[in-house]
Structure 1
Amino acid sequence: MKKASTFEKIAARCWNLLNEGKPFTPIFVIGTMMLYHLPDVGNVHHLQLLLLSALVVLPLFAIYYVYDFPLFLRNYLWIPYVAFLIIWSFADVKLLLLAVGLYFFFTVFFWGTLYYHLRIGTTWWNFTRFWKLVLKNSDSTSGNAQEQLPKFLLLLSLWQWAYEQPSVPLGQLAVFYFAIFLFAWILHANLFDWKPKEITTYTNNVVPTTAINDKVIVIVIDGMRKDRFEQANAPFLKSLRANGTEFTQMETVYPARTVVCFTSMFTGTYPFEHGIRSNMVWKLGINVESIFDSLRKVEKKGRLLGIAHLVDSFGDDVETVTAVMHNDVADRNIIERAKLVMDEQDPDLFIVQLIATDQTGHSRGVLYDEYIQKIEEADRLIREYVEWLEAQGKLDNATIIICADHGQADGIGGHGHLDEGERYVPFFMYGSAIERGKRVDEKKSLVSVAPTIAYLLGAPYPSHSRGPVLTEAIRKKGNDENAKSDRLFTSI
């Protein structure tokens, strides 16, 4: 399987400019205005007016960049637009129709059909479903029609209105913008209340000790929604869970973006501290130690096999895989590469990211059969990999952790602002050092992953690790029943 090329890494970062809602809105609005005024592009006076009127709209660009309006908050976005129509009675119908047409062409045909066909082999007919997913998507990405439409309709209308005015009433506009800012601030202060509670202290629930395990294998099924996992026919994974320790209330971090979640999982802390706040990474690298840094302190090695996005956080600790391949072979190729990395490098910690479930959710939706089929495919591939590890003697004293980084909501499999299906993820541990048949119902957080790995491998906790070690899962000394290695995976 090919590694992600330099071009793919750069392209992935560029794509996030169009995928993340914050940068998409200004890019789309500016691009639409340029196309609308293309016939006058050679007129210097016209260009000057266009630039001057753009300055008039900058405060609103800033407000909409600072404040997301995900989930039910997006319903309130129509109020400022209706207020504009009432106050100034202005609507350039041609401009607005152009904008709506361009938006749905970009999301439904360019992104949902052409892009996914070329990248992961989705059918050319994907637009027949994708338009419904865009209308239902609740997360603050470019694919959230109910958030993007009122934003860009107001921005374009204000810009075109300012362009056509012989004299712009700046005082009125200042009052209007202040009202929108106050409106957004009040909404977020009183209604934006669903973020997970952050742990305020650093990891201190157990003192690091000598290594319990020789290896820890973490398999992250990207975007695996918890309730859909329960509905899937996944006998191997569910047997690992039944014979290990399950954490039934494992909570992801906020915002639940892949790069944010992986960074929090393997540093043990939150975006405000490690510095990765979305998939759109403006500054490469993290501000704190990772689990890979901790392992180096005790002369051990960790590797992460994942997509190009993760290089933005972990740099050379990532063994990249290309995400440009048919989705039906993506996880198969990743598992084959995982065998190769384990065989050639033999890391003490090995993290493997499976991507087909997440990609199916984004391209085809999470509430369709294709999504469950990818979970079932992951179950078969993980069984194959675990049996291969056993045959290679890599599991004699190892812990296996199976989890997702986040769930996915309805629509285009959106995730970030913790809609239904995103917040809680499957999470269970299995191995000779792990309690068998145990279920922990207390709420936990994915920031506990890094310190738990450090504890198992006898390494210091990462510098800013806040999650408590998941000691509930770790077998107490002298518990002979749990110490038995019954080769579960070969008996299913």
Structure 2
Amino acid sequence: MKSASKFEKIAARCWNLLNEGKPFTPIFVLGTMVLFHAAILGSLQAVQDLMFAFIYVIPLLIIYFVFDFPLFLRNYLWIPFVIFIIIWKDIDIGLLLFSMALYFFFTVFFWGTLYYHLRIGTSWLNFTRFWKLVLKNSDSTSGNAQEQLPKFLLILSIWEMVFETNRAGGVINILSLLIFYAFILVFAYILHRYLFDWKPKAYETYSKNQGPQPGEGISDKVIVIVVDGMRKERFYEANTPFLDLLKENGTEYMNMETLYPARTVVCFSSMFTGTYPFEHGIKSNMVWKLGINVESIFDSLRKVGKKGRLLGIAHLVDSMGDDVETVTAVMHKDKADPNIMERAKKIMKEQDPDLFVVQMIGTDQTGHSQGVFYDEYLQKIHEADVLIEDFVSWLKKEGKMDNTTLFICADHGQADGIGGHGHLDEGERFVPFIVHGPHIEKGKKVQEKQSLVSMAPTISYLLGAPFPSHSRGKVLLDAISKKKEE
């Protein structure tokens, strides 16, 4: 299987400018205004007028960039737009209809059909389903219609009002506009202060101050297989005989909580540093500054002469750097996971790492492109089960499972719509999490709520490496057999 090329890594970062909701909004409104006024932009004066008017909407763009409007909070975004219409009564219906048409063309046809057809081989008719997914989607991407529509309709209306008023020789009441922006700022602050209360609570102390410390280690190897985007209840509905067997003969965490925002690069960064976005610095899939700010489990292993590798898509390089073996994500959705697992065998055979993390992407791709409440999504989970069984069987034949602890989990779930994840909607927050191995309790179900930040310190404990410098997670001692530990 091909590694992600330098071009693919750059392209992935560029795509995130359009995929992530926050950078998308200013890019979209700028592009919309340029296209809408393309006929007059041959005039230097018109260009200057348009850019001058743009200055007036910068404060609003900043507010919408700073504040999230997750889940039901996005409904409140319509209030400022309605107030604007009532007070100023100055909207261009043609511009608004043009912007909505352009938005749905981008999300439904360009993204949901052309992009996914070229990247992972979905049908040319995917738009017949994708438009419904965009309308339902609640995640933090540009495909969240209920969040993006009130944002860009208000920004475009104000921009157009200022532009046309200046061109007509009129005067904008700057004070009234500033008061309006102040209202939106206070309104956003109040919403987030009193209604945005479902973020997971962070562990306050570091792992090194919580209890048992890593000793010589009790496992020779740790293998972590992350089925990206596997929604927990859909996992239970899917045909997964091998993973069911691992649950019966291992420990299953019934309330394992992901991170906020529940985006892939954020979750992987937290899992393998043991801490949260405010500390490791990765706050979305759009990584503005490459690299994490803290030690990872891979750094910890190097301190004791051990090696870890992470096999995953190009996005993960942005946080984990050279510890990542990349795979190309430009591949038919039915071929991606089989090729990833073949590459995993090659890495295990040639490099034999003490810690090996594998990201399976087929389930996540299918959820994003075709939705999670369809048979295709369940089929991808079943295929992951078959591939994991094959990989583990191969490891046994190679003699690499004798004293190995195996983790099977998801980095996040997926919500309704386009398999959305980010804001911890239903289906995102709690993920499947199974631990299996010779030192792991058999048939145990842990009901206590835990966090994915516990992955790194637990690996440290199993392999006898120091906790990563800023690890806050708890060692998952519930899963470790006490008789083996003694």
On whether the aligned pair clears a TM of 0.5, the verdict is yes
What SS does structure 2 have at the residue aligned with 1:477? helix
Q: How does 1:315-326 map to 2 (within 5 A)?
A: 315-326=321-332
2:123 is the alignment partner of 1:123: yes
- Whichever residue aligns with residue 270 of structure 2, its letter is S
Alignment of 1:181 onto 2:172: no
> Which one of 154, 175, 194 corresponds to residue 198 of structure 2?
194
Correspondence 1:236 to 2:242: yes
Q: CA deviation at 1:33?
A: 0.4
Q: 1:205, 1:94 → 2: CA distance?
A: 64
1:12 aligns with 12
Matching of residues 301-316 of structure 1 within 5 Å: 301-316=307-322
- Does residue 372 (structure 1) correspond to residue 397 (structure 2)? The answer is no
Match of 2:256 among 250, 253, 271: 250
Is the Cα contact below 8 Å between 2:108 and 2:131 reproduced in 1?
Answer: yes
Deviation at 1:132, TM superposition (A): 0.1
Q: Is residue 2:89 matched to residue 1:89?
A: yes
Q: Secondary structure at the match of 2:146?
A: helix
Rounded to whole Å, the distance in 1 between the matches of 2:142 and 2:401 is 43
User: Which residues of structure 2 form unaligned runs of 5+?
Assistant: none
Alignment pair present for 1:423 and 2:429 = yes
- Equivalents in 1 of 2:141, 2:391: separation in Å? 35
Q: What's 1:40 paired with? A: 40
Partner of 2:393: 387
What code does the residue aligned with 1:235 have?
P
Query: Is 45-54 or 403-412 further displaced after alignment?
Result: 45-54
Alpha-carbon shift at residue 479 of structure 1 (Å): 8.6
CA deviation string 1:204-226 (max 9, x = no partner): 22111111011001000000000
> C-alpha separation between the residues in 1 aligned to 2:485 and 2:456?
25
Give the superposition deviation at 1:242.
Answer: 1.2
Instruction: Give the letter aligned to residue 472 of structure 2.
Output: R
Q: Residue 439 of structure 2 contacts residue 485 of structure 2 at CA under 8 Å; is this kept in 1?
A: no
Aligned-residue offset at 1:192: 0.6
Quote the Cα distance in structure 2 between the aligned partners of 1:310 and 1:143. Answer: 22
Q: What letter is aligned with 1:135?
A: L
Deviations 1:193-247 (A, max 9, x none): 1100000000022111111011001000000000000001101001101110111
Greater Cα offset, 54-63 or 380-389: 54-63
In 2, distance between residues paired with 1:393 and 1:297? 26
The residue identity in structure 2 corresponding to 1:244 is: G
Residue of structure 1 in register with 2:458 after alignment: 452
Give distance in 2, aligned partners of 1:478 and 1:153: 62
Aligned to 2:417: 411
TM-score (norm 1): 0.97
Report the equivalent of 1:170: 174
Shift of 1:140: 2.2
Deviation at 1:478, TM superposition (A): 5.5
Tell me, what secondary structure is at the counterpart of 2:75?
Answer: helix
* Cα distance change on mapping 1:173 and 1:478 into 2, 3 Å: closer
**Residue pair 2:252, 2:444 contacting (<8 A) in 1 also:** yes
User: Structure 1: which 5+ residue stretches go unaligned?
Assistant: 481-492
Q: Is the 8 A contact 2:439 2:484 kept in 1?
A: no
**What amino acid sits opposite 1:422 in the alignment?**
E
Could you say which residue in structure 2 is the equivalent of 1:207? 213
Residues 48/439 of structure 1: CA separation in 2 closer, same or farther (3 Å cut): same
Where do residues 430-441 of structure 1 align in structure 2 (5 Å cutoff)? 430-441=436-447
Deviations 1:62-86 (A, max 9, x none): 1111112121111111111111111
Matching residue's letter, 2:205: T
Corresponding residue pairs, total: 480
TM-superposition CA deviations, 1:398-445 (whole Å, max 9, x none): 000000000000000110110000000000100101111111100000
- Aligned CA RMSD, in angstroms, stands at 0.9
Q: Which residue of 2 aligns with 1:58?
A: 58
Following superposition, the deviation at residue 44 of structure 1 comes to 1.7
Q: Of residues 267, 278, 302 in structure 1, which corresponds to 2:273?
A: 267
When normalised by structure 2's length, the TM-score is 0.98
1:44, 1:311 → 2: CA distance? Answer: 43
| Runs of 4+ that moved beyond 2 A | 477-480
Q: Residue in 2 aligned with 1:100?
A: 100
Counterpart position of 1:339 = 345
Helix, strand or coil: the match of 1:168? coil
1:46: how far off? 1.3
What amino acid maps onto 1:155 in structure 2? I
Distance 1:217 1:332, change over 3 A: same
2:80 and 2:196 mapped to 1: Cα distance? 19
Paired residue secondary structure (2:124)? coil
CA distance in 1 between partners of 2:485 and 2:201 (Å): 34
Cα deviation code 1:306-339 (max 9, x no counterpart): 0000000111100000000000011000010000
